[in-house]
Amino acid sequence: MESSEIEEKIDTDIKLGEIISWGPEDLPAGPEVETDPDLIIVEGRADVLNLLRIGVKNSIAVQGTQVPKSIVELIKEKSSITCFLDGDRGGTLILKEILQVADIDYVARAPEGYEVEELTRKQMIKALQNKKPVAEAETEVEEEKEAKIKEEPEEPQKEKRSGKEAVLYKMLKELKIKESDTVFETIKKLETGQAIAFDEDLNTLFETHVSEVFEKIQDSEACKLLIFDGVLSKRLLGLVIQKEIEFIACKNKDEEIRIPNKISVFYI
């Protein structure tokens, strides 16, 4: 391993240790999200991590286009709110949702076609320095929408991902899952009471009823992804941690449990 790769790994490990799980939804956040008078809102966990790399510790991830109520309440306590979002349609969708439920002050965007998690230190600093007042950002979003309508009136309708789908694909990208469509289709077609598990190569390990999922996982040594139509309990989470499962898709979780940062959870 090259020295630069070693340094990057050490840096990543340190920053991973700084990420906290905040609020009832266990949202990824920087360690100063409550104490800092300013707040930066981002899309996902990888964005929080990238900001930690440049010393920004007051960010929190919405984890989708539906803004959690806990973030709406947190916003009310802050002096200044900045949304730092991807330079794509997904970032615009999240911005629109936030504007419907909360008052923010500034908007910073990654360059067009880039995601916040991909930006270099220099690019992130520049994007934050060039943040715009929310009124100006709103105007640009509307102008962009009108321009696209005029430019592409006859273009065939393309398959577009909803905000929630975009979050799922981003989670899977972070986990380096190459066949993301397989996971998406499995979730989409999941039947009532069904549970399905995959290994890291997305080979199906088992399909069963949720009532038997605990025993099935106990007998499995290769499970990395678990998708089930049910609620994640404290007992099941303990087994998931023990078996080093990296991704869970489920209906909900028991209120009292907290999800470790090393496990990605997508709520169906």
Q: Give the bridge partners for 253, in sequence order.
A: 232
**In a shared domain, residues 247 and 123:** no
Rounded Cα–Cα distance for residues 63 and 89 (Å): 15
Number of independent structural domains in the chain: 2
Closest to 77 (Cα-Cα) out of 130, 23, 127, 116: 23
Sign of the Cα torsion 51, 53, 58, 62 reads positive
**In a shared domain, residues 147 and 19:** yes
The CATH number given to whatever domain includes residue 140 is 3.40.1360.10
Summarize the confidence of residues 102-111 as an average pLDDT. 94
Q: Report which DSSP code applies to 152.
A: -
pTM of the model: 0.62
* Residue that is written with structure tokens 């009292």 in the block: 256
Q: Left if phi > 0, otherwise alpha if psi is -120 to 50, otherwise beta: which for 30?
A: beta
Tell me, what's the pLDDT at 16? 55
Within a domain: 169: no
Domain that holds residue 137: 3-151
Within a domain: 82: yes
**In a shared domain, residues 20 and 140:** yes
Tell me, what's the pLDDT at 249? 94
Bridging pattern class, strands 27-29 and 38-42: unpaired
**Do residues 229 and 268 touch, judged by C-beta distance below 8 A?**
yes
Confidence class for position 107, pLDDT limits 50, 70, 90:
very high
pLDDT > 90: percent of the chain: 55
The CATH number given to whatever domain includes residue 238 is 3.40.140.20
pLDDT > 70: percent of the chain: 85
Confidence class for position 259, pLDDT limits 50, 70, 90:
confident
pLDDT tens for 130-172 read 999 998 877 766 655 555 545 555 444 445 555 678 888 888 8
Using CA atoms, how far residue 83 sits from 59, 86, 131, 132, 138, in Å, is 9, 10, 9, 10, 12
**In a shared domain, residues 58 and 186:** no
**In a shared domain, residues 71 and 179:** no
pLDDT tens for 210-258 read 999 999 999 988 999 999 999 999 999 999 999 999 999 999 888 778 8
Tokens of 25: 């939804």
3-class secondary structure, 191? coil
